[in-house]
Amino acid sequence: MTLLSVENIRFSYQNSDEDRLDADLTPVFEFDLQLDAGKILAITGRSGSGKSTLLDLLAGFLKPIEGTIILDNHDITDKIPSERQISVLFQKNNLFEHLNVLDNVCLGLSPNKSPSNSQKQQAMQMISRVGLLHFESRAVSTLSGGQMQRTALARELLRQTRLILLDEPFNGLDEKSREVMMDILKQVVGERQCSVILVTHDVQSISAIVDVVAEVKAGRLQIAPVPD
C-alpha cells in the first residue's frame, strides 16, 4: 500500500527567503516519489544537491510552488508541520540540554512536558531499547555525541507518526551502536508499518535495512540499486 505520494512538487529558492547552498547549485527542484508503508528509503547525493530541501518540503518547513504531497490518503501539501503525521530528526538533534534523558525522550509523547506515568514507562522502554538504561537521569549536556543521537532517535521513534524523516541519524555512532540502532529502526517500521526516509552519505553502511535507494541529481530523484 502506498503511504507517501509526492506528485510533481516544484520548488525554487528564488521564491523563498531561505539562504541555502542548494540554491546556488540547483535553481529549481522537481520531485516525484512513491513510498509504500513499511519501507525504508535511503536518499543520497552530493552536498548541496537537494537532499535536505526534499526533507524540508515533506516536513512542511518549505512550501512548494506547485504539486501535491499525499500522506496516508490525506493531502498535506498546505498543512503546517505540527499538523502532519511526520516526525523529523535533523543532524542538529534539537535536544534540550538542560533536561535529562528521560525528560527529553518523553517529549516525543508529551510535548507539554507533563508526561503521565504510562508515558514515562513507554519512554523508559525506548531508552532501554536504544541502550541508554541507567542514563535516564543524566543531563543531556553530559552525554557523548553518540549518546545524544540515540536519545534524539528514541524520542522520534516514540511519536507514533506515519512517516519518519532522518538526516544522517547514525552520525557519531560506532559500528556496534549503529548496528543496534539500525535493527531497532527496522523493528519499529515492521511493528507500526510506518515508513522512513533516511538521508545518508554512506548507503553501503546501512544497506542491510534499506528497501529503496534514490539519488538526488540536478534537483531530481533517480532510483538507484541497493548496494549488496
Q: How many CA atoms lie within 13 A of 208 on its CB side?
A: 11
- In angstroms, the Cα distances linking 70 to 2, 58, 75, 77, 169 are 10, 10, 4, 7, 25
pLDDT at 46: 86
Q: Residue 6 forms beta bridges with which residues?
A: 33, 69
Question: Rounded mean pLDDT of 51-62?
Answer: 93
Answer whether residue 93 shows pLDDT above 70: no
| pLDDT for the residue numbered 18 | 58
* Contacts within 8 Å (CB) and 24+ apart, 89-92: 89/152, 89/153, 89/156, 89/164, 89/165, 89/166, 89/167, 89/169, 90/52, 90/55, 90/167, 91/167, 91/168, 91/171
The confidence score (pLDDT) of residue 48 equals 79
For residue 164, the model assigns a pLDDT of 95
Q: Report the share of the chain in percent with pLDDT over 70.
A: 92
- Are 1 and 61 contacting, i.e. CB atoms less than 8 angstroms apart? no
Range of 35-49, 89-103, 159-173 with top mean pLDDT: 35-49
pLDDT band at 14 (very low <50, low <70, confident <90, very high): confident
The model's pLDDT over 180-226, given as tens digits with 9 standing for 90+, comes to 888 889 998 998 899 999 999 888 888 889 999 999 988 899 988 78
Phi, psi of 82 (to 5 degrees): -70, -15
Average pLDDT over residues 165-191: 86
Contact between 26 and 50 (Cβ < 8 Å): yes
Enumerate residues 6+ apart whose C-beta is below 8 A from 122: 109, 158
- Minimal CA–CA distance to 6: which of 62, 54, 61, 65? 54
Bridge partner residues of 195 (DSSP): 163
What mean pLDDT is predicted for residues 113-119?
Answer: 86
Confidence of residue 23 (pLDDT cuts 50, 70, 90): low
Stated pTM of the model? 0.87
Could you tell me which of 178, 188, 169 has the C-alpha nearest to residue 38? Answer: 188
Helix (H), strand (E) at residue 34:
strand 29-36
Class of CATH domain 1-85+164-228: alpha beta
Confidence of residue 24 (pLDDT cuts 50, 70, 90): low
Identify which of 8-17, 113-122, 172-181 has the greatest average pLDDT.
Answer: 113-122
The pLDDT score that the predictor gives to residue 35 is: 95
Taking residue 15's Cβ as centre, other Cβ atoms within 10 Å add up to 12
pLDDT at 109 over 90: no
Predicted confidence (pLDDT) per residue in 133-159, tens digit: 999 999 999 988 888 888 998 998 888
